[in-house]
Structure formats: C-alpha cells, structure tokens
Amino acid sequence: MISLTNIEKRFGDNLVLKGVTVAIAEGSVTALVGPSGGGKSTLLRCINLLEIPTSGTVRIGDETLEFRPGGKVPAADIRRLRLQTGMVFQNFQLFPHRTAIENVMEGLVTVLKWSPQKAHERALALLEKVGMVHKADAWPATLSGGQQQRVAIARALAPSPKVLLCDEPTSALDPELAQEVVDVLGQLASEGTTMVMATHDLRLASKIAQEAVFLDAGVIVEQGASAKLFGNPERERTKRFIATLKQEAAEEEGGA
C-alpha cells in the first residue's frame, strides 16, 4: 500500500533521515514514535512530499516517485502523489475566515472542482462522522481545540485519500479535549482507514495503532506490533523511551 525505501533527508549539512525503509499495509494504523528531533515528523511529511526526500523512493498505491540528490521531480508528479493523502496538523490550520463546513468544502471545490452542492453534501456527512455537524456554521475561533481538530480531520478525509497522515494530532490539546480526537481517530481505524501518525501520545498510539516504528537520530531503532513495542520492547533505547512516555502519561493523568 505505502512503501518508503532508503529515504534520506538533508537540511543543509544536517542528515535528518538516514536510509529509512518502512512498509505500511492497507487498512492498518502505524504510529511513528521517538524523541523530539528523532525524525518522525520529517518522515511523515516525506510521505506526502511536504518535505521532499533527498534520496529514496516513495510509493503510495500505484504512484511511485524516486528521488536523487540534486534531481528535480516535476510538480505535476508531486501533486499527483500528494492527492493520495490527507493531512491532519498539530495546530489544526483551519481557515479562520471560513466556517467549519466551508473549511471541509474548500479543497473539494477549489482543487477537485466539485460543485458547491456536491461538496456541501460530502462535508455535512463528514462533519456528522466526526461529531461536529451541529457546529457546521461555526467559525473556528468559536470552537475548542478538540472541535477544531475534528473539523480538520473531516477536511483531510474530504477527498477520500488512500492514507490519512496525522502529525502530533493531540499534542496541542489538554487531556480531556485530546480524548475527543482519540475517539474519532479510533472510530476511523475501526472502519479500516489507513493511517500513519507521528505522535508522542502513548494513549493514542497504543489504543489505535497496530504497528509502531521507533525512530531516533534519523534511523529506525525498532519496529513491529505496537502491543509488543509499547509493552515489551527488545532494544534498550526503546525501553528507556517508552518508560519516559509512560511516566509523562501518568503525570498528565495525575494533574488532570
């Protein structure tokens, strides 16, 4: 379904991803976890080419692109692959001058050239799915963070992408509002939505993901079934990191 092969990413002299290879099955949920600066968000953004890999191969479904240092990939090819994905950002990135339903409709009308009526029907159905249809005409500024993120998820799902990419979808939210987003993503996972999420939220990753990939310093330290990686990791580096996540989660619950 999705494969990343020997992905390298440089920012100047800084090599952020060092030959990362990952395969993601259709209908699965994969969590990318690791310390800040470890490369998980960069790897996620390389899937939909918000970051262009320095070298390596990205495949989503039938679309494959190869990258070489100094090589130029046509913009049309990048756009064609990017259309296979939907992206949910850490800070929501809703258009403040558009209502909730207009945010969901925007890409359908402007990019895919749907009629406003068809886009409106699709947007209503998606807002219903994420529990936000009662706020269809609300402005983003009047919504809580959890509500804004649920609208953002509906927007990402609007064009029926092959994979939903989530970059720290709960990190800007307090635990109670984060639970709203965890519940929505859990529902999508149960329906067979293919998802890849970069997250440090152990509750989100352990509840939803079937597979987990632990990245540190731009390399994969350990990967496999999420229950095993979170519950009984093999590598000492992974054990230390998971212990830190569990401690942070316990402190959040204690302070809630």
Asked whether residue 177 falls in the same domain as residue 56, the answer is yes
As a whole number, mean pLDDT of residues 234-248 equals 89
Task: Give the pLDDT of residue 28.
Answer: 95
Asked whether residue 107 falls in the same domain as residue 147, the answer is yes
Taking the complete model, does pTM exceed 0.85, yes or no? yes
Final residue belonging to a domain, choices 135, 160, 185: 160
b (16+ CB within 10 A) / e for 21-44: ebebeeebbbbbbbbeebbbbbbb
> Could you tell me which of 194, 176, 180 has the C-alpha nearest to residue 152?
180
pLDDT bucket at 55, cuts 50 / 70 / 90: very high
pLDDT digits (tens, 9 = 90+) for 33-46: 999 889 999 999 99
Final residue belonging to a domain, choices 160, 177, 210: 160
- Residue 256 reports pLDDT greater than 60: no
Domain count, the chain: 2
Q: State the residue range of the domain holding 240.
A: 2-84+161-255
Task: Give the pLDDT of residue 1.
Answer: 80
The two most distant CA atoms of the chain are separated, in Å, by 55
pLDDT bucket at 254, cuts 50 / 70 / 90: low
Instruction: Tell me, yes or no, whether 76 lies in a domain.
Output: yes
Instruction: Tell me, yes or no, whether 89 lies in a domain.
Output: no
- Residue 194 reports pLDDT greater than 80: yes
CB atoms under 10 Å from CB of 137, counted, come to 9
8 Å CB contact between 66 and 84: no
pLDDT bucket at 174, cuts 50 / 70 / 90: confident
As a whole number, mean pLDDT of residues 182-188 equals 93
